[in-house]
A and B are shown apart, each in its own frame.
Chain A
Amino acid sequence: QKEVEQNSGPLSVPEGAIASLNCTYSDRGSQSFFWYRQYSGKSPELIMSIYSNGDKEDGRFTAQLNKASQYVSLLIRDSQPSDSATYLCAVNIRKDDKIIFGKGTRLHILP
Chain B
Amino acid sequence: ETGVTQTPRHLVMGMTNKKSLKCEQHLGHNAMYWYKQSAKKPLELMFVYSLEERVENNSVPSRFSPECPNSSHLFLHLHTLQPEDSALYLCASSPETTEYYGYTFGSGTRLTVV
What is the interface of chain A, defined by CB distance below 8 A to chain B?
Answer: 4, 8, 31-32, 34, 36, 42-46, 49, 51, 88, 90, 92, 94, 97-104
A43 & B42 in contact (Cβ 8 Å cutoff): no
Per-position 1/0 for B93-114, Cβ under 8 A of A: 0000101101111111000000
- Does B74 lie at the interface of the complex (its beta carbon under 8 Å from any beta carbon of A)? no
Cα distance, A100 to B56, chains bound together (Å): 14
B103 & A102 in contact (Cβ 8 Å cutoff): no
With A43-B2, A43-B90, A45-B2 known as contacts, the answer to whether A4 contacts B103 (CB < 8 A) is no
Pick the 3 closest A-B CB pairs, nearest first: A92-B99, A46-B102, A101-B43
In the assembled complex, how far is the CB of residue A34 from the closest CB belonging to chain B, in whole angstroms?
A: 5
- In the complex, what residues of B have CB within 8 A of residue A46's CB? 102-104
A98 & B104 in contact (Cβ 8 Å cutoff): no
**Interface residue range, chain B:** 10 to 19
- In the complex, what residues of B have CB within 8 A of residue A36's CB? 102
Q: List 25 A-B contacts (CB under 8 A).
A: A31-B99, A31-B100, A32-B99, A34-B102, A36-B102, A42-B108, A43-B2, A43-B105, A43-B106, A43-B107, A43-B108, A44-B43, A45-B105, A46-B103, A49-B102, A90-B102, A94-B99, A97-B99, A98-B45, A98-B48, A98-B56, A99-B99, A99-B103, A103-B42, A104-B42
Cα distance, A8 to B41, chains bound together (Å): 10
What is the interface of chain B, defined by CB distance below 8 A to chain A?
Answer: 2, 40-43, 45, 48, 56, 90, 97, 99-100, 102-108
Cα distance, A97 to B99, chains bound together (Å): 7
Cα distance, A91 to B104, chains bound together (Å): 15
In the assembled complex, how far is the CB of residue B52 from the closest CB belonging to chain A, in whole angstroms?
A: 19
